[in-house]
Amino acid sequence: MAREGERYVPRRVLVTGGAGFIASHVVDRLLERRETREVTILDAFERSACARNVTDDARCSVVAGDVRDGALVREILRVKAIDTVLHFAAETHVDASFGNSLAFTETNVIGTHVALEAARRCGTIERFVHVSTDEVYGETLVDGGSEGTSVLAPTNPYSASKAAAEMLVVAYGTSYNLPYVITRGNNVYGPRQYPEKVIPKFIHLLRRGARVPIHGDGLALRGYMHVRDAAAAFDVVLRAGENKSIYNIGAREERTVVSVARDLCAIFNRNPEEFLEYVEDRAFNDRRYFVDSSKLEELGWRQEIEWDVGLRETVDWYHRAIDERYWGDVEPALQAHPTHPPTHSPPTRRSLDAAAAAAADADAAADAAV
């Protein structure tokens, strides 16, 4: 493990949920570096994950399986000689958590516990990065959520499950000295995001000439960050973050949902007075999430992609993705209040018979490149 003041160098990385939106971009960034010998993705490929998100880099391998399967996770850690875990696997959509909250506990709490226990038993994990959310702070009506001083006050089943998962991570760090870093990020947008989230949902609807649903009065404030900036933040936290620390990953500016919808209407040349449809609000909708990212910025990270540039790039990407039916049928995700049915089945084992050979091949390739 890197000593204080040194940069950590991950070499064999397990990314849970690695076929998802943000995680797939983080995988891409990991593989831009020659010292990354192998990245293993563990993903259940449920709904928002997509095989098309996964790089074709020879150093990346994919295991289709469930993070709740402890035997499988332990086998991956052992056979692949993993030194770093990036734990992205989670149920993340707030709307869906109101209608199917137990699935969020199963994946976000139990799945995290299983991953932590596997890492503890493995004994070779040098860094466990747990991906959480700014929503664990609850409403931040005055000041931005702070890693060191803000009390966790989640207000919906999703954020409660993520807060519970954080407590497990901290407990494993205290009880077993498992090296960890926790991130709490705000809203992220960009290519590959499943259209249950607000920006890709609005893009899909406006493109077909349909009205976009605005929850309540639409004045809830959120920070929005382009996924490349988010991936850069994870890279900095992974390599320079202090052990047993928490880092906020937040955008500089806040925007209301209505202003986001209006900006997208302008890109599509739609009249917002005609294309905004105000609908019933969520069971509870925090008025403001905002976090202070100064601790992360002290490590050298900066948000670089401007809103207008990132939004137009995202729209361009979705034009192509929609034409190609990137995810197949997304109609359920485009509803005003999507509450997808439970998709969880009992976790199943997947064979890793060829994993040792693949790891050896990756070693040989890395050694040859030096």
**Residues designated catalytic:** 134-135, 158
Element holding 189 (H helix, E strand): strand 187-189
Rounded Cα–Cα distance for residues 131 and 230 (Å): 12
CA distances from 93 to 90, 139, 230, 327 (A): 9, 17, 18, 17
Choose among 120, 93, 95, 121: nearest CA to 107.
Answer: 93
Rounded Cα–Cα distance for residues 303 and 145 (Å): 18
Backbone φ and ψ of 225, nearest 5°: -125, 135
DSSP for 306-343, written as a single string: -HHHHHHHHHHHHHHHHHTTTTS--GGGGSSS--PPP-
Q: Are 76 and 119 in contact (CB under 8 A)?
A: no
Rounded Cα–Cα distance for residues 125 and 37 (Å): 15
Which region, left, alpha or beta, applies to residue 190 given φ > 0 means left and ψ of -120 to 50 means alpha? left
Rounded Cα–Cα distance for residues 78 and 72 (Å): 10
